[in-house]
Amino acid sequence: MFDAQCDLAALVYTAGEDPDNVLYEFASGLNASGYRAVGIVQLGRHCIDAGLSAMLMPTGEQLQLHQRLDQESAGCRLDVGQLTTAGERIATTLDAGADILIVNRFGRQERKGKGFSRLIERALGDDIPVVIAVPHHHFDDLIKFAGGMTVKLHCDYESLDAWWSLVSTPAGSLRRPDHSTVCEVMK
Task: Establish if 2 belongs to a structural domain.
Answer: no
DSSP conformational letter for 126: T
- Note down the domain range covering 111: 8-186
Listed ranges 81-90, 140-149, 167-176; the one with the highest mean pLDDT? 140-149
**177 pLDDT higher than 80:** no
Task: Establish if 3 belongs to a structural domain.
Answer: no
pLDDT tens, residue by residue, 82-132 = 778 888 999 999 999 999 999 998 988 888 888 889 999 999 989 999 999
Cβ contacts of 123 within 8 Å, gap of 6 or more? 94, 98, 101, 129, 130
**49 pLDDT higher than 50:** no
Task: Establish if 92 belongs to a structural domain.
Answer: yes
Task: Establish if 98 belongs to a structural domain.
Answer: yes
Cα separation values, 36 from 13, 29, 53, 155, Å: 25, 10, 22, 22
Task: Establish if 1 belongs to a structural domain.
Answer: no
Higher pLDDT among residues 58 and 174, named by residue: 58
Cβ contacts of 37 within 8 Å, gap of 6 or more? 26, 27, 28, 30, 31, 57, 58, 98, 99, 100, 102
Residue 53 — very low, low, confident or very high, per pLDDT cuts 50/70/90? confident
Higher pLDDT among residues 99 and 44, named by residue: 99
Write down the pLDDT at residue 3. 43
Higher pLDDT among residues 51 and 108, named by residue: 108
Task: Establish if 156 belongs to a structural domain.
Answer: yes
**pTM score:** 0.80
The mean of the pLDDT values for the chain is 81
Task: Establish if 159 belongs to a structural domain.
Answer: yes
Number of structural domains, the chain? Answer: 1
The total of other beta-carbon atoms located within 10 Å of residue 92's CB is 10
Write down the pLDDT at residue 78. 65
d(CA 149, CA 115): 20
Task: Establish if 65 belongs to a structural domain.
Answer: yes
d(CA 166, CA 175): 7
Write down the pLDDT at residue 67. 62
**24 pLDDT higher than 50:** yes
Higher pLDDT among residues 49 and 80, named by residue: 80
In percent, the amount of the chain with pLDDT more than 90 equals 47
CATH number of the domain at 87, please: 3.40.50.300
User: Mean pLDDT across the stretch 163-180?
Assistant: 60
